Amino acid sequence: LAIGVGMAYAKKLHNINRRVYVLLGDGEMAEGSVWEAINFAGRRGLSNLTAVVDVNRLGQSGPTLYEWQVDAYAKRIAAFDWDVFVCNGHDVRDLLEAFSKAKASNRPSFIVAKTVKG
């Protein structure tokens, strides 16, 4: 996420009208660098940034902290001035609607996509 935040910030500074998309796993959401990037993007109002987290409940060595509690992710991320859209990661229409809302947002956007591994 930190690299994507840097790319979005550079585009904003240079008035380049492009979006940056970042895909994360829910296991990554336990890393401090992810939350530092979330904080920076929210404080800078990087409306050209959309992050997507695949919430499949499983990390590298077992269940993730919040497992399938998508609302827990949404509340934490929203506290950093992001717009958050929760969706079913297996439903194409639901995903397209979330991406459409993210593109229309005037803040950084985070799509929390609940999925089942396998």
Q: How far is CA 106 from CA 57, 60, 80, 95, in A?
A: 30, 34, 14, 19
Sign of CA dihedral 4, 14, 16, 77: positive
- Residue 94: HSE in the Cβ half-sphere, 13 Å Cα cutoff: 12
| CB-based contact 78:39 (threshold 8 Å) | no
Q: Which of 11-15, 24-28, 60-64, 109-113 has the lowest mean pLDDT?
A: 60-64
Task: Show me where the domains of the chain are located.
Answer: 2-114
Q: What pLDDT, in 10s, does the model give residues 60-113?
A: 666 666 656 788 999 999 999 999 999 999 999 999 999 999 999 999 999 999
Q: What's the pTM value of the predicted model, to 2 decimals?
A: 0.91
Q: Does domain 2-114 have CATH number 1.10.10.10?
A: no
| CB-based contact 4:12 (threshold 8 Å) | no
- The predicted structure's pLDDT at residue 2: 98
